[in-house]
Amino acid sequence: MTSIQQSKASALAGEQGNQGVRERETERMAPEAGVLKWVTATVAPLIAALAVLGALGSFTTVRRLAEPHFGGLAWIVPVGMDLGILILLAWDLLMEYLDLPWPVLRWVAWVYITGTVLVNVAAAQGDLAGSVMNAAMPVLFITVVEGVRHLIRRWVGLTSAGRVERVPAARWALAPASSLLLWRRMILWNIAEYQRGLSSNTAI
């Protein structure tokens, strides 16, 4: 057997060994994935319900305070504040994922958050119990939003030391389907480096 044949045989054996490890890892993780799906299916609606309750409570309070100033258009004030918070935080997350962080987005989002809480507290007109109840609604909504944001950051590797490198925008544009599969494989198998992801994609 020549040296080339030996190297090919070694590479094939190594790939088969890696494939066996991946199959055993997948079998081990299958029960955990099933439990995770059930937990997610149970918890996700509860989280969404908390966000809706918090948003509705804050919406009602802010709209009532805005009516003397905006009349029939008072509803745009709470909607604009809540949508502004969501859009700015989502935009900040996208910029961070693209390696183009701009802290101003998050600062402005927290200015909106602070303003929303202060407006809700002001609606109680100095009553302590009313202030606490009114503040609880926007705080509940923001807590859910921040929790979801943190989950997304962990999922895409923005909070870990081995952050997953992004798939280049040019590849997304030229080959969106394969880029999506590549990105999914890098996330699932915790492949931090883009070139390693390409190698694993080619091997499969």
**Statement: residue 12 has pLDDT above 50:** no
Least-confidence region, from 57-66, 86-95, 107-116, 194-203 = 194-203
pLDDT of residue 22: 54
pLDDT of residue 111: 92
**Statement: residue 154 has pLDDT above 50:** yes
Distance of CA 65 to the CA centre of its chain: 33
SS3 of the chain: helix, strand, coil, percent, to 5: 85, 0, 15
My answer on whether 144 and 84 are in the same domain is: yes
* Non-local CB neighbours of 124 within 8 Å, separated by 6+ positions: 130, 131, 133, 134
My answer on whether 170 and 189 are in the same domain is: yes
My answer on whether 125 and 24 are in the same domain is: yes
My answer on whether 91 and 126 are in the same domain is: yes
My answer on whether 144 and 90 are in the same domain is: yes
Instruction: Decide: residue 47, CB within 10 A, 0-12 exposed, 13-18 middle, 19+ buried.
Output: middle
My answer on whether 145 and 190 are in the same domain is: no
My answer on whether 109 and 188 are in the same domain is: no
Least-confidence region, from 3-17, 95-109, 129-143, 179-193 = 3-17
My answer on whether 171 and 70 are in the same domain is: no
**Statement: residue 20 has pLDDT above 70:** no
Locate 134 and state its tokens: 């009114």
My answer on whether 136 and 192 are in the same domain is: no
pLDDT of residue 11: 45
User: What is the three-class DSSP state of 162?
Assistant: coil
User: What is the three-class DSSP state of 189?
Assistant: coil
Domain of residue 176 covers 164-204
My answer on whether 112 and 150 are in the same domain is: yes
My answer on whether 33 and 130 are in the same domain is: yes
* pLDDT per position as a tens digit, 35-91: 667 777 788 888 888 888 888 888 999 999 999 999 889 999 999 998 999 899 889
Whole-model pTM: value is 0.60
pLDDT of residue 36: 67
Domain total in the chain = 2
pLDDT of residue 13: 47
Q: Categorize the per-residue pLDDT at 203 as very low, low, confident or very high, splitting at 50, 70 and 90.
A: low
* pLDDT per position as a tens digit, 140-153: 888 888 888 888 88
My answer on whether 85 and 185 are in the same domain is: no
Q: Categorize the per-residue pLDDT at 96 as very low, low, confident or very high, splitting at 50, 70 and 90.
A: confident
Instruction: Note whether 159 and 149 are within 8 A (CB).
Output: no
Domain boundary among 161, 176, 191: 161
Distance of CA 114 to the CA centre of its chain: 22
**Statement: residue 139 has pLDDT above 50:** yes
- Among residues 86, 118, 119, the alpha carbon closest in space to that of 105 is found at 86
Dump the DSSP string for 71-94.
Answer: GGGTTHHHHHHHHHHHHHHHHHHH
